Amino acid sequence: MFRDAATQYQQDERTLQAFTSLLTLVEALASITDQAENITRSETESVPVPPITLATAGQSFAEITNRALNCTYVAVFALDPPDERQRLLGIDGLSAQEIKQLQSDTDQTPLANYVDAEALAQLHSNQIVTLDLKERPFVTTRSTHGARYRLVAPLMLHGCLIGLFTVAKTDDMYPDVQSAYSPAEIALTKGIARLAAQVIEKVSLLQEKAEAQANEQRLQESTRRYEDFLSTASHELRTPLTTIKGNVQLAQRRVLALEKQADQNSLPIDKLQRIEYPLKETLLNFDRLERMIRELLDFSRIQADKFVMQERPCNLVEIVRRAVDEVRQTTSTYGRTIFLSLQAEEVVPIIADADRISEVLSNYLSNAHKYSPVERPIMVSLTVEGLLARVAVRDKGPGISPADQKQIWERFYRAPGIETREQSSANSNLGLGLYICKEIIELHQGCVGVESVPGHGATFWFSLGLANSACEQESAQ
C-alpha cells in the first residue's frame, strides 16, 4: 500500500514535471517566433540577429524534451525525400562520441531501414510507436545506442510525415516498454511533436525567405552596378561621338562647297561625289548610334528611378508640327510622304515636357517608316475630344498581331516575324523605343495604345489631358 502510494507520488511528480516542461516549451516556441520576427525587423534596423536554423530549432526541442522526460536521450530527425531519409536535427543526452556514431548510423538512411512496415504505417497515420528493440529490433541495424526502448512520435505537417521525435530509455528501471513511457509522457511527447512540426515549418519558411532576401539583395546590387555601368558607358560614348559627328559634318559641308565650285576650279565632280556618299552614310549611322545611346541612357534612368520630366505649359499643335517637320527633313526618311492632319484650333494647351513628347511622336514616326514600305504614306493626326488630346500615327505596314500588341510596350520586346525595311535607317533596333514612349506618356498621366489588323497597318497613339485633366476620363468613356 505504502509502496503503491510512493509509485503514485512519483508518477504524479513526473506528470507535473512533464506539464511544466510543456509550458517551458510553449515559452521557448514563442521565443523562437520572436527571433523569427527579429530576422525581418533586423533588415530595417540593421541589428545583427543570429539566424535560427532547422538545426538550432531541432536542438532546442531535443534539449527541452530531454529535460521534461526522464530518458536516456532524445533525438529529432527530419525525413527528406525521396524515401524519407533521416537527417539529425538535434540530439540531447549522448556524449559527443555517441552522437557521432548515431549520426553516421542514421544519416541519409531511409526510415524503412529502421522501423518495420507496421510501425511505418502507424507513423504515417500520425500515431506514436513504442518499440522494445530486444523483441522488435531495427530492420537493418542492430545498433541500439545503449537504450533498449524507443518512443517514436511522428512530426506531421499538412498530413505528411516530415520528421521524427525519438525518446530513448534503458531497461534499467523498467521491465517492459509499456511501463517505460507513462500516458502523461506519451501525451507530452505528442504535444511536443506537434509544436515541433509547426516550428520546423516556420523555420523552414524563414530560411527560404532569408535566402530569397539574400538573392534579392545580390540581384539588386548587380542591377545597380549594371545601371551605373550603362549610364557611365552611355555618357562616355556620347562625348567622342559628338566630336566625330561634328568633324564628319564639317567634311561633308566642305565637300559640298567644293562640288559647288567644281566647274570654276575644274575639280573632278564624280570624285567629289564619291567622297560625299560615304560621309552621308556615316552620318546616317551616327544618327542610329546616337539614338541607341539615348535609348540606353533613358532606359538606365528609368531603371534607376531617375527619369524626370521637365513639365511646363506648351502647345501640342506646335510640338506635333515641329516633330513632323523634323522627321520630314531628315535624310533617313527620304522618299516618304507624311500627311499631317491637325485640329482647327491653333492652340491645344498641355502641361508637358515638350522635348519628350516630341521624342514619342518621332519614335512612332520612325517605327512607321522603319516597318512600312516607303511608297505608302504615313498619316499623323491630332484630335481633341472633350478634355483629351490624341496624337495618332497611322502606317500601312505589316500590322501587329493582337498578342504582340500587348507585348511591344515591354522593354526589349521585338515582335517576331516583323522585319525592318532597311538596316541603315537612322533607327535603333533595341526593342526599347516603345517602352520609353510608354514611360514618358505615363509620367504625364497620359495613355498609349496601338490599333492594328495584321496585314493592314498599325495606328500608334497617345493621349494627354488638356492642362489639368487626367487620362482616366478616356478609360471612363
Interface residues with ligand ADP (CB under 6 A) are 367-368, 371, 395, 397-398, 400, 408, 413-415, 418, 428-435, 458
Instruction: Classify residue 147 as exposed, middle or buried by CB count within 10 Å of its CB (0-12, 13-18, 19+).
Output: buried
Complex with ligand ADP: residue 203 or 408, whichever CB lies closer: 408
Check if the beta carbon of residue 360 is closer than 8 Å to that of residue 324: no
DSSP string over 128-147: -EEEETTTS--SS----TT-
Whole-number Å distance between alpha carbons of 85 and 88: 10
Q: Which is nearer to ligand ADP, 163 or 397 (CB)?
A: 397
Instruction: Return d(Cα 284, Cα 252) in angstroms, integer.
Output: 12
Nearest partner of 79 among 43, 39, 115, judged by Cα: 115
Report d(CA 443, CA 353) in Å as an integer: 10
Cβ neighbours around 267 below 10 Å, total:
12
Comparing CB distances to ligand ADP, the nearer of 166 and 452 is 452
Cell numbers for 63: 534539449
In our burial notation (b when 16+ CB lie closer than 10 A, e otherwise), range 225-243 reads eebeebbeebeebeeeeee
All cell numbers assigned to 401: 498581331
Q: State the nearest-atom distance from the C-beta of 87 to ligand ADP, in Å.
A: 51
CB-nearer residue toward ligand ADP: 88 or 458: 458
Query: Which is it for strands 338-341 and 378-385: parallel, antiparallel or unpaired?
Result: parallel
Dist. CA 392–CA 343, nearest whole Å: 12
Q: Which is nearer to ligand ADP, 19 or 413 (CB)?
A: 413
Extended strands (E) in 271-429: 312-315, 338-341, 349-352, 378-385, 388-395
* Beta carbon of residue 462, minimum distance to ligand ADP (angstroms, whole number): 13
Shortest distance, position 400 Cβ to ligand ADP, whole Å? 5
Closer residue to ligand ADP (CB): 50 or 417? 417
Residue 282: CB minimum distance to ligand ADP, A: 21
Smallest distance, ligand ADP to C-beta of residue 415, A: 3
The candidate with the shortest Cα–Cα distance to 320, out of 192, 464, 207, is 464
Q: How far is the CB of 389 from ligand ADP (least distance, A)?
A: 21
**Least distance from ligand ADP to the Cβ atom of residue 412, Å:** 8
CB nearer ligand ADP, residue 133 or residue 360: 360
| 305 secondary structure, DSSP code | T
Backbone angles phi, psi at 467, to 5 degrees: 10, 105
CB of 430 to ligand ADP, least distance (A): 5
The residue among 241 and 418 lying less far from ligand ADP, judged by its C-beta, is 418
Helix (H) or strand (E) holding 462: strand 458-465
Given the complex with ligand ADP, which of 57 and 392 has the nearer CB atom?
392
Q: Which three cell numbers stand for residue 273?
A: 561625289
Amino acid, res. 265: N
Q: Output the smallest distance, CB 308 to ligand ADP, in A.
A: 21
- Phi, psi (deg, nearest 5) at residue 367: -65, -45
What is the smallest separation between the CB atom of 245 and ligand ADP, expressed in angstroms? 21
For residues 137 and 143, give the distance between their C-alpha atoms in angstroms, rounded to a whole number: 9
Residue with the closest Cβ to ligand ADP? 433
Rounded to an integer, what distance in angstroms lies between the CA atom of residue 97 and that of residue 396? 82
Backbone angles phi, psi at 89, to 5 degrees: -100, -30
Residue 260 or 376 with smaller CB distance to ligand ADP: 376
Q: How far is the CB of 241 from ligand ADP (least distance, A)?
A: 19
Question: Is 148 or 288 the residue whose CB approaches ligand ADP more closely?
Answer: 288
CB of 35 to ligand ADP, least distance (A): 49
d(CA 290, CA 239): 11
